[in-house]
Structure 1
């Protein structure tokens, strides 16, 4: 079973394997290659990818790396460092994706699985969905950008509490914090996340990519530079085919057809 599949304009990426949802090196490499290739995609290509859907194939989204492999390694430090580098190779193009990303978070997203979920733009979970840093439980510090993303999403104080106490976050808390976009029945997670990804994929791909870019730079930008970037971006959108179609649809009182 391939880790990467096309479903219309949605790129479906499986990042874990087995009932417990363990990360797998070969899966990560395959997904990394597919996500990296998106950087060179023409957003105006009607046959291009319009959204990414990240999912597992078992009862859980992803519970992180194989702890038994960590324990069995002759040089544990070197082994874990190599695994982290492979994982970070996946996280970089996921965070910097030119198209929206959606996570189908069924069951547990723990350790590296929580980092993957945080890296996605939107996440759909079920009533039994749980997230937990999990790293302190085995005497590790986080990887996958968790210490960078979590404080930006929930605030520094809450991030300290979650990470230092290894807090288990249930579906209601995750929704309250904005870490889950939508909570549905457990059996409906895959369909709901797929529908959300498909809806995004039918939207204005170039404009959504520019929105992601603007949001990504906001923490490092001053207001003046952000305003300049917004002016450049909206002007580019207005002059492009998506802006032409959007304005025409508005004038004709119909839904726009971007693809």
Structure 2
């Protein structure tokens, strides 16, 4: 039986590949379960310094496998509750882990596939990629964190249009409006993704984790309270192995070696 998700761990990078290309990498329960297992395993694995998420074949992910929604023994609501609930737990773990996450969008992303595609700290996309909310076309509402992520990335007005009209956003426009980080040249996604992962894993990963947490908290925080969080964070960073190495390297006019100081 084909594995719904593939895993490759190399040089501190855990690359996770959605692997149902014949179904557009549609999310079924086995795929959601596999993502949950990998999130539990690698979110807190110190030897893994970066997580990469991509899709097999020509599509990133078309969202939930609609053929499963009605063809089950528990009813559509209960089925969706388990499927979305499992996916949400996995995405929460990925969002809160103390290491960066890269999404390589190799093709179209729709529904929860769109939610996953834009969940990375850095999102690179192939020119063939396009993005569609898709939910209201089948009478459902967004999941996968879409209503949290979209307004923060593109603004409320654009998020409203994308979700309510199901308008397709092309890859070039996605880069222009901030839905993705950068559009790469055709055929260059894997190479650019590997270069980026190598750059991040060579960096101060513990500090990256703290920075991503500060960014996530900032929208729910006032200016003064956010600066208090920054103060607590930079104080801790200054006493950390990474902080000591970074400062020493700067004063000694050499490149820091953060790999010798693994995450605490």
Distance in 1 of aligned mates of 2:86 and 2:67: 18
Q: 1:232 aligns to what? A: 232
Correspondence for 1:97:
97
Q: Which stretch shifts more, 125-134 or 89-98? A: 89-98
Give 1:30's match in structure 2, choosing from 7, 30, 34: 34
Could you tell me how far 1:87 is from its partner in structure 2? 1.5
Task: Give structure 2 stretches of 5+ with no counterpart.
Answer: 260-264
How far the C-alpha of 1:129 sits from its partner, in A, is 1.1
Hey, which bits of structure 1, 4+ residues long, moved more than 3 A?
A: 37-41
Is the contact between residue 4 and residue 31 of structure 1 (CA under 8 Å) also seen in structure 2? no
Secondary structure, aligned partner of 2:60? coil
Does residue 1:189 correspond to 2:189, yes or no? yes
TM-score if structure 1 supplies the norm length? Answer: 0.92
Relative contact order (alpha carbons < 8 A, sep ≥ 6): 1 or 2 greater? 1
Q: Distance in 1 between matches of 2:64 and 2:151?
A: 23
Task: Give how far 1:130 is off.
Answer: 0.4
Q: How big is the shift at 1:227?
A: 0.8
Deviations 1:181-215, CA, capped at 9 Å, x for gaps: 22112322122122212211111011001001111
Task: Find the aligned partners of 2:173 and 2:230 in 1 and give their Cα distance.
Answer: 33
1:62 has 2:65 as partner: no
Q: Please, which of 17, 35, 46 is the counterpart of residue 14 of structure 1?
A: 17
Indicate whether 1:142 and 2:142 are aligned: yes
- 8 A contact 2:100–2:200 mirrored in 1: yes
The 3-state SS of whatever aligns with 2:8 is strand
Q: Is 1:161–2:164 an aligned residue pair?
A: no
Report how many residues are paired: 254
